[in-house]
A and B are shown apart, each in its own frame.
Chain A
């Protein structure tokens, strides 16, 4: 039989996960010259866009503008969306193998990394990702609750997620009303009694993962003063040497801004955002009711690894920090998919440049591929997924040319749709999503907001008359 990829016999690809990685892969596949491709994109949620909808902070609407590019991709001939269809629940890997020549897994990094310290599971100690999913209206997290009657909050970590959480906690209701933050979160934050948010970084300001625009934005909050401890933002000899030799301008700028915050006088704003560096929590302290009332910190110093990286090493000095609410944001981690080999060391699908590998032979499994955070781990910005997707798609195209692909029994659009409808009658199409998108925007414009999200799956399906 002839190789798939022709008009008579299109190459059929299932993409699992409708986040940026999935969309960029779809784009790359559907624009291959001389290859006719059909993409069916699955997502367990009825809505597409993954972390662009559920992760990117609501006060960063400009970043969310990337969805316009995704709409364009979804409009390419050969693209279909199967929303609300979950791998492992409605369809299995074997089902996909019976209907597609290739499968592309882009399910992201769905859990947070644990700190691994005593007291981590006390009440009022949460993964930052749960708070993010909650304020973004993710259906699985909308019913979470966070005790915002606490005055002091610690956020462990200084990456993008930690900064987002701290910033949202410091925004005024007036600032939040201009965003598409979930309605219930807006109400909860309106009643917030949080006065002080402390961000804790285990290394120094030169090693923090946040970007210069993000740190600059903290200095422009309407009703929160940002500050830092002067002795923690002065560079040690190793950091200064690293910055002078081989450091980039962005890092130097970032350090300069943070040092500026340490010198800045307070302007009596209602809230305070404190940047702490060179400290690590060693335990969380609870009361008799099992709720967090504080954390024990150890001060760190920087040491250089043989390969040149500056890492935190604990000193003997400790400190007790009274806090009533803790968010941990020390990294994301991928979740294994049933029937797909996993690399436990790095928390990703076992792969070589996007080709999924057999765990025993370490050779590629024909027809199975991966992209995005579940391929490379949680790193990079949205756009990083584009070169990442290209890398995998190049291999997918090469493999088809070498006659390496799955041999499905039922490789047709109609049969795939039948399978999905049998298993999940309430599947959401891209046309449905566009209707929902219009409904959400309309709800938003009625109250002067960019969008008011529907956050219950039942409400979404009801709005679509399902």
Chain B
């Protein structure tokens, strides 16, 4: 199973923010869409960073004026980008190892989606459930 399969059922809305927008604007977007991270994009709508709720918490812990800062001041710049053909299994390992929770997906030079660690876990769970169910049928001749 690859990332494309996961994006297929997620629609293709990626909530983005510009590096010069303020943290307050970023927080409004997070709240409105009920998500944990925004992809920071340039003029070509290509990812240049990620800003997550955790980044904001870290910044707020040391700076009272955090809301007025630009997104670029606190975003993570070293973004790992996925491709539709990346295997979910290896993506899950990479995300766990690198302690990243969101992976923007770029296809043919365009931002086409974002994969969260929750998406990866859910896909894995559904895969195992499906396999268990199929094995039940084969061994016991019945579905669970």
Contacts and interface: CB of A to CB of B under 8 A. Distances in A.
A362 interface: yes
Nearest to B96: A246
B114 interface: no
Contacts of B143: 66, 69, 383, 386
Given A63-B137, A63-B138, A353 B8 contact: no
Contacts of B134: 63, 66, 381-384
Contacts of B103: 307
Contacts of A174: none
A68 interface: yes
B11 interface: yes
Given A62-B138, A305-B86, A307-B91, A383 B8 contact: no
B129 A377 contact: no
B107 A345 contact: yes
Interface string B1-35: 11111011111110000000000000000000000
Interface in B82-135: 82-87, 89-94, 96-97, 103, 107, 112, 125-127, 129-135
A457 interface: no
A228 to B, nearest CB: 22
Contacts, number: 134
Contacts of A377: 4-5, 8
Interface residues of B, number: 47
A65 interface: yes
Interface stretch (A35-43, A308-316, A405-413): A308-316
Nearest to A66: B137
B92 to A, nearest CB: 8
B142 interface: yes
B126 A352 contact: no
B82 A68 contact: no
Contacts of A69: 137, 142-143
A354 B84 CA distance: 20
Contacts of A391: 9
Nearest to B133: A383
A381 B8 contact: no
B81 A307 contact: yes
B20 to A, nearest CB: 26
Interface string A48-74: 000000000000001101101100000
B4 to A, nearest CB: 5
A307 B7 CA distance: 16
Contacts of B142: 68-69
Given A69-B143, A377-B4, A388-B126, A382 B90 contact: no
A387 B11 contact: no
Given A310-B90, A376-B9, A383 B129 contact: yes
Given A66-B134, A307-B91, A345-B84, 19 more contacts: A62-B138, A69-B142, A242-B93, A246-B97, A248-B89, A306-B82, A307-B86, A308-B91, A309-B87, A343-B12, A345-B12, A346-B4, A346-B8, A348-B9, A376-B9, A383-B129, A383-B133, A386-B130, A386-B133
16 contacts: A66-B137, A246-B96, A306-B82, A307-B3, A307-B90, A307-B91, A309-B86, A310-B90, A348-B9, A353-B10, A362-B13, A380-B127, A383-B136, A385-B130, A387-B126, A387-B130
Give me the 8 closest cross-chain CB pairs, A-B, nearest first: A384-B130, A383-B133, A246-B93, A308-B94, A352-B11, A383-B134, A383-B130, A69-B143
